[in-house]
Structure 1
Amino acid sequence: MAGIECTPVRAGASSVPCGHAIGSEKWRGTELARLLQGKIKLVFEDGLGLVDFHLSNRTCILYISESDLVSGNAFRRRLVRFRKACNLNGIVIAEKTRLSDQYYPPVQNFVVLELGMALLPVTNQNEAAQLIFNLVQERSREGNSNPFMRKKCFQLPDASLLQTVQKIPGVGKVKALQLLQHFPSIHKLSNASVAQLETVVGRTIALSIHSFFTQ
């Protein structure tokens, strides 16, 4: 535990080769690791700290299991420490099952609205393995693409982020997509001024959004 406390997130996450992932030693021998090893090149290392998996392009995965959701708020402290410790792109994967379903909505608000991180639900480790595989493939394509062309194409936001923005009064799916095209994270959206929001959705809804985040 002392090593984890001293090094909340291990340095050098940006050096992970495309098509690879570095997994925390605690995942060795698990069903998730077995499923991943058939899809990607997975290497285990000790001392990753708060992170469960490192992908390429400075992307990290933090995994919240069903038992984490049900047992309490310890995982929240881990996510807050991650957000404060580094500027890596953190993606949270959470097991949303019949048992943990009732605990998921407040976690969604906490992760997406308060921390500004992407939250992706899965029902089991098989789904999680497929999701991580897709993320590895996506990061590999980004790493091999032309950096001058990359930002010209708007990528659809993940479903949980889109649903969270739609909870703002007056914001439907169309306006949520428009907002996320200009403000691609909750952090940027919540810090946008009324004037900046007005150019996207008009004065009335801009005031509603600004009030939502500043109350």
Structure 2
Amino acid sequence: MAAKGNVPAAPGSVIVPYGHVVGNEKWRGSELARRLQGKTKLIFEDGLGLVDFHLSNRICVLYISEADLVAGDEFKRRLVRFRNASSLGGIVIVEKTPLSEQYFSAVQKLVVLQLGMVLLPVANQEEASQLITQIVREQSKDHTSNPFIRKQCSQLVEASMFRTVQQIPGVGKTKALLLLQQFGSIHQICNASVKELEPVVGQTVAQQIHTFFGS
């Protein structure tokens, strides 16, 4: 069953053979598609809606290019529509370049903090193809083990969360680690009061965190 253009396909409606990637038809002929075809088995399909690539029946990629970031807020609306309409595991790959770097922190806050999705920055489509291929290969090592796939996604989420918490003003690697150890998730950090944060990071940084999430 094909998805409409403004919604993602439902879980299970796109069947992805193990070791394959199902790409949105709009990517045919692109540099990313050409590089993927040299590393994995890429097939194209119409009707993937908001999704750019399906890496498995339940894991997909939404790709945000440098041009998307510079053009305005349409990519944000797309991500929100995806999150509201789908229970698929969404991985957002975003081109972080000298031109688009100024927009990255806002994207990071939206994707990881507000939408709870995995965010992976890349320099270009070549690096994106390597990243997608790596994820597909990891999944294919044991395609009968759903827990393995969940573990792979969990590791990506944890790494993404750790990088994102470090972007909060006043929080570096050490404080990010302490915060995640104490609260367990960004959602819990977001909802923590200044008084709850103070024993972990001190009064000044606690206030900065509270202000950051309240903005």
* TM score, norm. by length of structure 1: 0.77
Stretches (4+) displaced over 6 A:
181-184
Counterpart in 1 of 2:5? 4
Counterpart in 2 of 1:99? 99
Distance 1:184 1:38 in 2: 39
Q: What runs of 5+ residues in structure 2 fail to find an aligned partner?
A: none
For the pair 1:45 / 2:62, whether they are aligned, the reply is no
Q: Secondary structure at the match of 1:143?
A: coil
Distance 1:14 1:122 in 2: 26
Counterpart in 2 of 1:23? 23
Counterpart in 1 of 2:124? 124
Note if contact 2:23-2:53 (Cα within 8 Å) is conserved in structure 1.
yes
User: Alpha-carbon deviation of 1:174?
Assistant: 4.1
* TM score, norm. by length of structure 2: 0.77
Q: Secondary structure at the match of 2:138?
A: helix
Aligned letter for 2:85?
Answer: A
Q: What runs of 5+ residues in structure 1 fail to find an aligned partner?
A: none
Counterpart in 1 of 2:164? 164
> Which digits, 9 at most, give the CA deviation of each residue in 1:101-134, with x for residues without a partner?
2222211222122212111111111111101101
Map residues 123-142 of structure 1 onto 2, 5 A cutoff: 123-141=123-141
With 135-144 and 176-185 compared, the bigger mean Cα shift is at 176-185
User: Alpha-carbon deviation of 1:172?
Assistant: 4.0
Q: Relative to 1, partners in 2 of residues 1:48 and 1:156: Cα closer, same or farther, differing over 3 Å?
A: closer
User: Alpha-carbon deviation of 1:211?
Assistant: 3.8
Give the root-mean-square deviation of aligned CA atoms.
Answer: 3.4
Map residues 48-197 of structure 1 onto 2, 5 A cutoff: 48-56=48-56, 58-141=58-141, 143-145=143-145, 147=147, 155=155, 160-168=160-168, 171-177=171-177, 180=180, 186-187=186-187, 189-190=189-190
User: Alpha-carbon deviation of 1:181?
Assistant: 6.5
Counterpart in 2 of 1:35? 35
The sequence identity of aligned pairs, in percent, is: 61
